[in-house]
Amino acid sequence: MMAIASLTLAFPASAMDNALRAGLMKLDPQTRLEQRCDAEVLDRITHDDRKFKADRVVAYAFATPEMSADAIRSPGAAFRSKGQWYRLKFKCQTGPDHMEVLQLRYRIGDEIPEADWVKYNLYD
């Protein structure tokens, strides 16, 4: 099993793409929290390990994420990199407006066989 664990202070929200910022601000707070954390985990995976180019995450692939006011814990997520899916666990905490990621921990798991993609709502 491949594993990467990281405790990272994210880029400040000001470093975020303006289009992403504008889109996030239109969302309800809980959806904004989910989407902001999804974007951050994709960015951090790609930044931390150059063999990955993460472009999509499904936070609920293997288990329902646990939400609190300013945090999400996703023990059964998956992410896609270069057309292949991998298991993922992550915890993400944001500020009250859900725009600034204060803390992110993640762990990359095994590659998911293509035969299982349909079962877990993963797509090419």
Nearest alpha-carbon partner for 106 in 81, 79, 86, 88: 88
Q: What residue segments make up the domains of the chain, in order of their start?
A: 28-120
Whether the Cβ atoms of residue 81 and residue 52 lie closer than 8 Å to each other: yes
- How confident is the model at residue 19, as a pLDDT? 79
Tens digit of each residue's pLDDT (9 = 90 or more) over 34-52: 999 999 999 999 999 989 9
Tell me the pLDDT tens digit for each residue of 50-109: 899 999 999 999 999 999 999 999 999 999 999 999 999 999 999 999 989 999 999 999
User: Which class would CATH give 28-120?
Assistant: alpha beta
Helix axes 29-48, 18-25, angle to 10 degrees: 150
